[in-house]
Chains A and B, each alone.
Chain A
């Protein structure tokens, strides 16, 4: 799993049916200190995450399909949690 920050949403009308009714979030991947590491993913939301929130996301298809409850879906990245706090080497950072 990865830790990321929600920075935007993707608006789409023509999309695969598996994405219909789901919010697609633009998520900046974060390094261990909470800083953006330069990468990003588009992830389907399952927890109601909002702007600026630090989230836990999964970037693996089998787990993603399990979370969205579809046996076949071309979804690989899913936001599965909202992070309250992260501690690395005794230093805490969070939302």
Chain B
């Protein structure tokens, strides 16, 4: 899993079966200092509460689909949590 920031939304009316009702957001992956790292991705919002500007964490690959109500769907990134804080341990 990785940190990311929601930077946009995606609207798609025609979608593959099983994706009805799933919200898609554009997520900029971040390094652990919360600096942008790599290319933005489109991620399904599995917590259904993430919005633009929010710091989130997401899961990639096949496990992303496991976050959704319908688990056998073509999704490769999913937001699985909204970050309140990242605490550095000493």
Contacts and interface: CB of A to CB of B under 8 A. Distances in A.
The answer to whether A and B assemble together is yes
25 contacts: A7-B89, A8-B32, A8-B88, A10-B81, A10-B87, A11-B85, A11-B86, A11-B87, A13-B82, A14-B49, A14-B82, A16-B67, A16-B80, A16-B81, A18-B80, A19-B80, A19-B81, A26-B32, A40-B32, A41-B2, A42-B2, A61-B66, A72-B66, A73-B66, A74-B80
Contacts, number: 98
Given A61-B62, A74-B64, A76-B63, A12 B32 contact: no
Interface string A1-25: 0000011111111111011000010
Chain B: number of interface residues, binned into ranges: 20 to 34
B80 A15 contact: yes
Interface of B: 1-3, 31-32, 46-47, 49, 57, 59-67, 71, 78, 80-90
Interface of A: 6-16, 18-19, 24, 26, 28, 40-43, 50-52, 61, 64-65, 72-77
A42 B47 CA distance: 17
Report whether over half of chain B's contact residues are helix, strand or loop; otherwise say mixed.
Answer: mixed
A9 B81 contact: no
A8 B80 CA distance: 18
A12 B87 contact: no
B46 A26 contact: no
A27 B83 CA distance: 16
